[in-house]
Structure 1
Amino acid sequence: MLRSMYAGISGMKGFQTKLDVIGNNIANVNTVGFKKGRVTFQDMMSQMTRGAQGATASRGGVNPMQVGLGSQLGSIDNIHTQGFRQTTNNPLDFALEGDGMFVVASELGPGNTLGGANVAYTRAGNFYLDEAGNIVNPQGLYLMGFPAFETGQNIVVTDDENDVKINITLDNNNNILAATDKDGADISDNIAYNGGIFTIEDDSGNIIAEITQDTNGKMTAVNGSNEPIELISEATVDYNTNPNIASTLTIPESAQSFSIQANGIVNYIDEFGTVRVAGKIAIANFSNPAGLQKAGSNLYLNSENAGYTGLVEPETDGTASIVSGALEMSNVDLAEEFTEMITAQRGFQANTRIITTSDEILQELVNLKR
């Protein structure tokens, strides 16, 4: 039988696979966080009909003569370029601007370590709160982050005319670590603490503000005339950013509101009006994200060729920043996919023509004897 016929068959199989990948890309043109695929081809082995010969004193060299036996798949690549950003104004929609992936898990290992088949990675940032206040993805997997530890409080006090502005930083034992007025001058010596009340005086001994903290931790402030003045209380925190340690991110049911910053910090305002931190979203970094294995449901699994380097904080080590209220959409370009579809269709068509032409030649050979 003719070698061209089998070469045509190999070409048809390859373009069928290319169309499969194109079809999957187009089907996921609106899939959140989807990364398109690409097919490349390689030539198959060649049959040697004459080997190469080197030059001699009486004649020049001769090139080899080989007949190719068709084509084969070279690779099916995942193209991890940035998808376009779609604004949703949903605070639990996160878009990654840059490299890295969200980490989701069904459970954690001993000591809150990540490992095993329960961990997956995704660029799809459509998250939700479950009944316990945990941030989860549509499959119920927990979004992983770095745990936060409160080390104290930062208090800012001002009146309506901005005549009084005080910044006080406390540790967990209510010891004053720093205190400044609106001009940045140190006023630590002008503050006294007694029975849950911070009394701030001016240099003349006049009371300019009193801050009261109740047993629940709620703080209120009045000026020297016992009139309420505005107070903002914010917890100061530290993070465990061990690249192998993670935790769930939980918003308490009693929280009045929450927000997510570009550096991954998840803040919420508790029932007493204090700004607290639930943790910091962790980003998984890969030197070769194309080496990740697709697992369906917008999830990827680590592989030996992905180059996983551990968890990092957003906006560090070249990783992405987080945009709350937006989603990263698919990076599929329909114009490109339709062009590739035409190429694949014509390639398939040309290979069928090779087979029909080869068949006609065989028919002529059969007809030699009549």
Structure 2
Amino acid sequence: MSLYSALYAGVAGLGAEATAMAVVADNISNINTIGYKGNDIQFRTLVSDGRARSAYTAGGVMAAPQALISKQGLLQASSNTTDLGIEGGGFFVVRETLNGNDVAFTRAGSFRPDEFGFLRNAAGMYLQGWRLDSFGEFTNTGNVQALTPVRVSDLTGAAAPSTKIDIRANLQSTAPLHTGAYAVGDIASGTIEPSFSRSFDIYDAQGTSHRVTMAYVRTGANTWQGELFAEPASDVTAAGGVLASGELRFNPDGSLIKDDAVYTSGFFDPVAITWANGAGSVPLRLGLGENGTISGLSQFGSESAMIAATTDGGVLGNIASIQVSEAGVLSAVFDNGVTRPVFQLPVATFPNPDGLTRISGNAYLLSDRSGNASIDIAGALGAGKIRSSTLEASTVDLAQEFSNMIRFQRAYSASSKIITTVDEMLAEVSNLKR
């Protein structure tokens, strides 16, 4: 009879309001949890018979908690460079164990090095990333299982071979013109005096320093010949110490021509070096600028001069600090001033982040409602930017939670009143037999 359905509806109301109060309790208790996403509570009706006309059967109510995982929390400043926040959509990729396959996702970016140098957050989860090669590059296969735990302490005391020489220099357009014959090695041997030269210190894989010189001689209108050679030549196995040579051409406006359709030059190719001491090396890239620009070499009437030059490599020493760019490049800064990119941190995005499954430790797992994860560098394809020295605060609004607490408490009392009232009515029915 309808009276019993009213009793059941009251019980359903008690259960729904109790669930709602549990959501409020969870939100309030996590108000200071970094990266916590508050939950909302909605209610949905239960209908026993929607076609009723003369009689009505109560169905009751059911709680419907709603995850607000996609809601952005306030980014707050931190004094630790490995405290990371995401401005925009996406999640850090983490693992609960060091070598496990238990990939999870989180916005809790309070990462600190543990005793082995791995970055872990307050829940003990290991931050994952792509380890960069000697050229600062990586391959994104889209597979989260290809990510490795972020660890920087294993670089302490290591040596890194030089991978690049980037220069910004001007070659004087009115420099004396060399009109005689030229053969590879003439500049290195001193047979031809260069119009301009500059020396650099580069390093092999054992951290040993070597001196190389980049020299140029003007051979025609808007045309130069360049050589890169070791000093002394005995440092390398190449004949005469010559590591690279080639022609350089410039446009009438003084910008560099770097176009294989116009001419090819060995001076633009990576330089393979074989050290005489047996130390390892990697191909050396000569950053001479881009085609049609003055970003590297240029040719103007002013005096030949080196404007800026950078090289890398050497004995790394001890790590002084860690830096993370907004694109997610994690670099180690060593006490000798060398900065080396070590990891690229990915940001994982989902078609429906609110459909993720919550787990302990303020992290989430894939579900059929969330869709598959897409991992990209920060700031690309909808992924948010990574902010170093920031932490995302909890999204819980304390005033709103207290208001909800009052509402749910009143509703719980009202549902209990339904039960006591129905009980009295059933007692009246029981008394009819007397």
TM-score by length of 1: 0.69
After TM superposition, the structure 1 = structure 2 runs for residues 294-313 of structure 1, keeping only pairs within 5 Å, are 294-313=358-377
Q: In the alignment, is the contact (CA less than 8 A) between 1:218 and 1:272 conserved in 2?
A: no
| 1:116-135 map, 5 Å | 116=101, 118-135=102-119
Match of 1:338 in 2: 402
Deviation at 1:281, TM superposition (A): 0.6
- Could you say if the C-alpha distance between residues 20 and 220 of structure 1 is closer, same or farther in structure 2, counting changes exceeding 3 Å? farther
Using the alignment, how far apart are the partners of 2:86 and 2:311 within structure 1? Answer: 27
Cα distance between partner residues in 2 of 1:100 and 1:273: 33
Report the Cα distance in structure 2 between the residues aligned to 1:6 and 1:76, rounded to whole angstroms. Answer: 25
In the TM superposition, structure 1's runs of 4+ consecutive aligned residues that sit over 4 Å from their partners are: 63-66, 172-176, 202-205, 217-221, 229-236
Displacement of 1:142 in angstroms is 2.5
What are the ranges of 5 or more consecutive residues in structure 1 without an aligned counterpart? 51-62, 110-115, 153-171, 222-228, 237-251
Match of 2:413 in 1: 349
Q: Could you tell me how far apart the structure 1 residues matched to 2:163 and 2:110 are?
A: 39
2:197 is the counterpart of 1:213: no
CA gap 1:17/1:339 in 2 versus in 1, 3 angstroms: same
Partners of 1:219 and 1:103 in 2: how far apart?
Answer: 41
Indicate the residue corresponding to 1:42 in structure 2: 44
1:322 aligns to what SS in structure 2?
strand
Give the corresponding residue for 1:242.
none
Match of 2:86 among 90, 96, 102: 96
Query: Cα offset for 1:23?
Result: 0.5
Query: How far is the alpha carbon of 1:72 from its aligned partner?
Result: 1.8
**Which of 150, 155, 180 is the equivalent residue of 2:168?**
180
Relative to 1, partners in 2 of residues 1:14 and 1:334: Cα closer, same or farther, differing over 3 Å? same
Q: Does the 8 Å contact 1:32/1:328 carry over to 2?
A: yes
Quote how far apart the aligned CAs of 1:267 are. 1.4
Q: Could you tell me how far 1:270 is from its partner in structure 2?
A: 3.4
Q: 1:22-171 maps to which residues of 2 (within 5 A)?
A: 22-47=24-49, 50=52, 66-105=56-95, 106-107=97-98, 116=101, 118-151=102-135
Name the amino acid aligned to 2:80: N
Indicate if the aligned counterparts of 1:180 and 1:186 stay in contact, CA closer than 8 A.
Answer: no
Q: 1:218 to 1:25 in 2, by over 3 A?
A: farther
* CA 1:235–1:174: 2 relative to 1, 3 Å: closer
Cα drift, residue 235 of structure 1: 4.9
With 23-32 and 340-349 compared, the bigger mean Cα shift is at 340-349
Cα drift, residue 337 of structure 1: 0.8
Gap regions ≥5 residues in structure 2: 137-160, 176-184, 213-305
Partner deviation per Cα, 1:232-264 (whole Å, 9 max, x = no partner): 84659xxxxxxxxxxxxxxx8722332111110
Shift of 1:273: 2.9
Conservation of the 8 A alpha-carbon contact between 1:79 and 1:290:
yes
Instruction: Supply the AA of the counterpart residue of 2:84.
Output: F
3-state SS, counterpart of residue 135 of structure 2 = strand
Cα distance between partner residues in 2 of 1:290 and 1:281: 23
CA distance in 1, matches of 2:208, 2:168: 22
Match of 2:10 among 1, 8, 25: 8
Equivalent pair of 1:233/1:275 in contact (CA under 8 Å): no
Compared with structure 1, are the counterparts of its residues 368 and 282 closer, same or farther at alpha carbon in structure 2 (3 Å cutoff)? Answer: same
Higher percent of residues as strand:
1
Counting matched residue pairs gives: 293
Quick one: which of 310, 329, 337 aligns to 1:273? 337
Whole-angstrom distance in 1 between the partners of 2:400 and 2:317: 47
Q: 1:339 to 1:273 in 2, by over 3 A?
A: same
Alpha-carbon deviation of 1:220? Answer: 9.9
The one of 322, 342, 351 equivalent to 2:386 is 322
Partners in 2 of 1:28 and 1:89 — Cα distance? Answer: 22
Q: Structure 2 counterpart of 1:69, which letter? A: G
Q: Structure 2: which amino acid aligns with 1:263?
A: A
Q: TM-score if structure 2 supplies the norm length?
A: 0.59
**Judging changes above 3 Å, is the alpha-carbon distance between structure 1 residues 297 and 3 closer, same or farther for their aligned structure 2 residues?**
same
1:339 to partner: Cα distance: 1.3
For 1:282 and 1:49, how far apart are their aligned partners in 2?
Answer: 54
Q: Check whether the contact 1:45–1:68 (CA below 8 A) recurs between aligned residues.
A: yes
CA distance in 1, matches of 2:367, 2:73: 23
CA distance in 2, matches of 1:49, 1:139: 52
Q: Are the aligned partners of 2:17 and 2:63 in contact in 1 as well (CA < 8 Å)?
A: no
Q: Is the 8 A contact 1:150 1:235 kept in 2?
A: no
Q: 2:226 maps to what in 1? A: none
Equivalent residues of 1:213, 1:219 under 8 A apart = yes
Q: What CA distance in whole angstroms lies between the structure 1 residues aligned with 2:36 and 2:317?
A: 32
Does structure 2 retain, via aligned residues, the 8 Å contact 1:49–1:67? no
Q: 1:8 to 1:220 in 2, by over 3 A?
A: farther
1:185-264 pair list within 5 angstroms: 185=170, 205=196, 210-213=199-202, 216=207, 233=310, 235=312, 254-264=318-328
Whether the 8 Å CA contact 2:379–2:385 is kept in 1: the answer is yes
Q: Which amino acid aligns with 2:79?
A: N
The alignment-based identity, stated in percent, is 31
SS at match of 2:21: helix
Which SS does the other structure have where 1:149 is aligned? coil
Give the Å deviation of 1:21: 0.8
- The structure-2 alpha-carbon separation of the partners of 1:76 and 1:212, relative to structure 1 and needing over 3 Å to count, comes to closer
Amino acid at match of 2:200: I
